[in-house]
Chain A
Amino acid sequence: MIRFENVTKKLSRKTVLDHIDFEVGAGETFVIVGLSGAGKSVTLKHMSRLMRPDSGSIFVDGEDIVSMNRSDLQRVREKFGVLFQGAALLQWMTVRENVALPLREHTKLSDAEIMKRVDEKLDLLHLEDAGEKFPSDISGGMQKRVGLARAIILNPQIVLYDEPTSGLDPVTSRRIDEVMVDMRERLGITSVVVTHDLHSALAIGSRIMMLHEGRIVENAPPAEFIKSKNATVQSFLESQYITKKGKWEELIYGQV
């Protein structure tokens, strides 16, 4: 569904992505992990062409998006929903207006139909009472869920999540994880998740890729990922108290 071929990107003379190749299959929950500055968010931004690579190709459903013109790019972007790290909600709009925005811009639905669909998504994400509030009046966790509601309002095929649980308490983080798993199971959405949170990655991922200094050091299903012999992966796992024989092997419900 998404394929990176030999992608390289430099920012301020630093190589952020160094000839990386990988593929995300349809229906997968593909998790990208790594230390800060490893190139995770840059990889995610390349998928929706918010950034262009210096060299290499990126394919979405077989179409190279790197040199695509604006109208074709718009067509491809309609396949995507993106949850940004800070939710990126428009501050002068209410929660309901934020979620309705893609429908107002891209469909000719009546106001009543738009509100019906918005309320469905708000219900799905347990945001029934937040519709008339402004983003500044709700918590970070609720803002993330509103961002997610907006990302899925047009029923995209692919959802990109940039640090969906960063800055959230553990309970809210697990709730966001459950929503992501639920969406994959109920709607068959392909997900790409960038996170530092290995617990979340192991819980929801069908495949985990680790980036380190712009290179892929591991790309495997969770059960294999935690057994990786790569020293960087091992050190990353140990930093979050995850061991090869820990209970996490039993808790990988992302594969269920």
Chain B
Amino acid sequence: MNRAISRLAVTGTALMVVLVVATTYWQAWAAGGLNDRQDNQIQRVAQFTIERGWIIGRNPRTPLARNAPRKVGGRTLYFRRYPAGGLVAHVVGYSTQSRARAGLERSRNDYLTAANRNLSTVVGKTLDELRGATIEGNDLMLTLHLRAQAVAMRALGGRCGSVVALEPSTGKVLVMASSPTFDQNVIERDFSAIDRIQAPCRPVAPLYNRATYGLYAPGSIFKVVTAAAAIDSGRYKADSRFNDPGYCEVYGRRVNNYDTTSPFGDVDLREALQYSINSVFCNIGKELGALTIIEYMKRFGFYSTPPLETPDNERAPSGLYQRNRLFDPDVESDVDAGRFAFGQERLLVTPLQMAMVAGAIANQGMVMEPYVVDRILSPSGGIIQRTRPDDLGRAVKPETAATVAGMMRLAVESGTGTAARLPGFVVSGKTGTAETGVAGTNNAWFISFAGRAGQRPKVAIAVVLEQQNGTGGQLAAPIARDVLQALLGGTANS
């Protein structure tokens, strides 16, 4: 009998061991997968017990995302509020009960919920857990200049488009506006309100961050890249001379200037950029070759997704596109180099990328890595992480950058971009009016940088308005001027 009892004892013990193993499986092995499941109600609720970190902007220093505590069933739950409404909706994003997240709320979720691996966060969180205190997330301090951001949103005025402003020497994102925008507070309450948002463009897509995800034909602003490539490669100089017949021949067909009735005749490269003469850049393109231009594009950051703290799938790389996919040609004959050189062909760019081009020219040829999170703060106010400016490599030589900058300065002083002139400041820029093939659907562009005379430029900016009738000089340049004024005025004060 005892032998049987011993065996039964082993069986009983084994049953308990099975339970320990099963518990270990669910709590250690499978826990991650279960916690990530969309239908996990426990996690959906548990995230509300964490006092999520705030997202804070500069000038003025106000919260863009904060918490509204509410007692539910004896516990305090923290619901998200976005005091600034749609002002910075795309960068900040949203975090809702249905677990859908976007923007920094998604990509920096582990900092905002104190789930990151930073030592002081881990220690703080563990202590909170042991004390039974509410877990507090880390705050994000953004580089965004909220006054200028408001100016940009107002200037866009419900039209579809985007404004991106960077600090050339660091890559700090000062303004990142995307229009139409949406109120993040509405997402949780009434998602269908997003579908009802109206804007004069198709698709309306208010949730997309046009600054980093919107792909537009660049038109003439791309001439800055071509000019930089032309000069940096040593093939051309600012005073290289051209004859403009009012058109350029590509594969036996004429490609016209914006205005064909009055050819410019004998001009130099400087004037070609100043007056945005297509035929000149067309000939430069044919001479340089598309592959050389693409090589320079890559140095400026094209063909790779620009770095930024927002989620990867909310940013798109710029470059030639074929059948909705990035197209990196191997042979010269795959691309029409002439049209390519003045920003047509199948070229698609994001406002952020074009702001990086302007920034690189302003920063003596160095491309800086854009960033929007300045520092991450612990609940007690200590700095957990401070973003250090980093470069993405040199696009062109300092002399080249200086030459192109001078040419862009002429374009604003007495060329196509005069609407961006700002008294007391040196503004350099380039207009663009990209034809998308249908009348009334032009992309109006302006890229620019500005600063005080004798000082290095403080701001680089890219503005785009989509599906417009007018030109970049008429529509985009004034917006750039307003935002530059808000930023430079602000910078002068602080």
Do A and B truly interact? no
